[in-house]
Chains A and B, each alone.
Chain A
Amino acid sequence: MLVLGIESSCDDASAAVLNVTGPGHAAVLSNTLATQEDLHRPYGGVVPELASRNHLLTIIPVVERALAQAGAPLEALQGVAVTCGPGLVGSLLVGLMFAKGLAQQRGLPLVGVNHIEGHLLAPLLEHEPEFPFLSLVVSGGHTELFVVEDLGRYRRLGRTHDDAAGEAFDKVAKLMGLGYPGGRAIDEIATRGDRRRLRLPRARVRGERFAFSFSGLKTAVAQLLATAEAAQIKAEDLAASFQEAVVDALVRPTLAAAAEFDLRTITLTGGVAANSRLRARLKELAEEQGCRLVAPSLGYCTDNAAMIALAGSYRLLRGQSHALDLDAQPSLAL
């Protein structure tokens, strides 16, 4: 079954064509991306209004490119999967309206996909599914821990109570004058710093073993930079110490959950999965505990349409689809 996937929930517009052979099994024929990073850089983050206006310009070319690269004419498509939430409402609407128009014109079944479900299933784009597995989703907008029991069966164990991990990276990078996106800048200079040079807090959420909190860490860095000693702190050491605190705060609940629910496979997805220290540390400690870490290739960790097509396709295979009155849902829960 040839399925077109469309993703536009934030600042990236992406389209992909998958050849789906069974539930959770697919070959990616194309996965194209129109990124807006340069557009948002001056603002230190995504500006919703700019993102949606730009999607209007790129959505058609990005789909055309996906079809061309896959060598699939429009007539060959057998279903359309599109992100319908959560995300920025204006951004979501561009992809959704396009998908609806296409579905109606071609008489194709349309399925709306939860963006987080896409991230949870992204590892299946490159690996055999081995349910159940534990999934840590970390990005600029999300920090959540799930048990993926099966296709369509997800249990959220915890999430952040304040800032997302990627947001903490961006804010601390801004405090340090490192620019945007902050995660990459911190990761880079941290390799030359001392992770143990500064003591920074690792917050725990009372009564919730698998929840996260990064607001206190951000505050601690802000206060540290406001002290008289700040001038003597090397940026590399601060970056490394801060990064280590974020990594610890992500890794500890994840490993505790793997042990508690006896899960042997841990997956790591979302934009922050690009962080080299997080990948290395989680892999090291997971293996010590007898678990295996599966992190998709970078292009499948960040927002992409291939994961959306995959997450939509098992529903399409079951004959499930949405009516054309499907709406964008900015705070859609999974």
Chain B
Amino acid sequence: MAVQVVVQSASARQTKAWGRRLGTLLKGGEIIGLHGELGAGKTCFVKGLARGLGLSEEKILSPTFTMIQEHASRLPLYHIDLYRLEAATLDDLGLREYLFSQGVAAVEWFERLQTEAALDYLSVRIAYAGASRRLLEFSAAPGRHQAIVERLRSAAWRA
């Protein structure tokens, strides 16, 4: 059974705060798959995630142009954007190396990645719920990422 938790964010600041919470829970080797329309706040979420890893959020710019941006922090952060590809496979852009590493791979437009076997990853789905309001859904199929979603669930109770 997949585990899932949905939280509300009232502003870009709160979206970043959720990214930061997730960032502090990461130990290396995680794949974070981000879903959401243009402007939903995926890069904004990754700015928070970077802070949780000890990076300054100013370092995080939109990766659309370069497709992959590497950052050195507590753990290497690979910020990847598949927006400009209709469909990508693990053999494109050297994705395999980034996704199965000791670092953290945060992949925007993750749904464009097509793999033969299901990947073990943590899904972050950001949906519009008003001008600045968003719904954030964290979920993971059985595997190593489930424990992280469980911890986010406890954080959601406290928040």
Q: Within A43-70, which residues are at the interface with B (CB < 8 Å)? A: 43-49
Tell me which residues from 218 to 233 in chain A have a Cβ below 8 Å from any Cβ of chain B. 218-223, 226
A88, B64: Cβ atoms under 8 Å? no
Q: Does B116 have its Cβ within 8 Å of any Cβ on chain A?
A: no
| B38 and A175 form a contact (CB under 8 A) | yes
A100 at the interface (CB under 8 A from B): no
Stretch among A27-35, A115-123, A155-163, A258-266 lining the B interface? A155-163
Complex: A161 Cα to B44 Cα, angstroms: 10
A13-51 with Cβ < 8 A to chain B: 43-49
Other-chain residue from A43, A222, A331 in contact with B85 (beta carbon distance below 8 A): A43
What is the CB-to-nearest-CB distance from B88 to chain A, in angstroms, rounded to a whole number?
10
Type the 1/0 row for B47-77, where 1 means its CB is closer than 8 Å to any CB of A.
Answer: 0000000000010011011111110000000
A-B contact count (CB 8 A): 63
Nearest residue (CB) in B for A174 is B38
Assess whether B147 is interfacial by the CB under 8 Å rule. Answer: no
The B contact surface, by secondary structure, is loop
What residues of chain B lie closer than 8 Å to A164, measured between beta carbons? 61-62, 65
Given contacts A43-B85, A223-B39, A223-B128, whether A88 and B66 have CB atoms under 8 Å apart is yes
* A175-B38, A215-B43, A219-B39 known; A47 vs B128 contact (CB < 8 Å): no
- Encoded as 1 (CB less than 8 Å from any B CB) or 0, chain A from 132 to 171 comes to 0000000011000000000000000000111110010001
- The reply to whether B39 and A44 form a contact with Cβ atoms under 8 Å apart is no
CB < 8 Å neighbour of B61 from A43, A160, A175: A160
CA distance A161 to B37 in the complex (A): 20
What mask results when residues 89 to 130 of chain A are scored 1 for a CB within 8 Å of chain B, else 0? 000000000000000000000000000000000000000000
Known: A161-B61, A167-B65. A215 touches B85 (CB 8 A): no
Q: Are A48 and B66 in contact, CB atoms less than 8 angstroms apart?
A: yes
Binding site for B on A (CB under 8 A): 43-49, 88, 140-141, 160-164, 167, 171, 175, 215, 218-223, 226, 330-331
CB-CB nearest 9 A-B residue pairs:
A219-B39, A222-B39, A45-B84, A141-B65, A163-B62, A222-B38, A44-B84, A43-B84, A162-B62
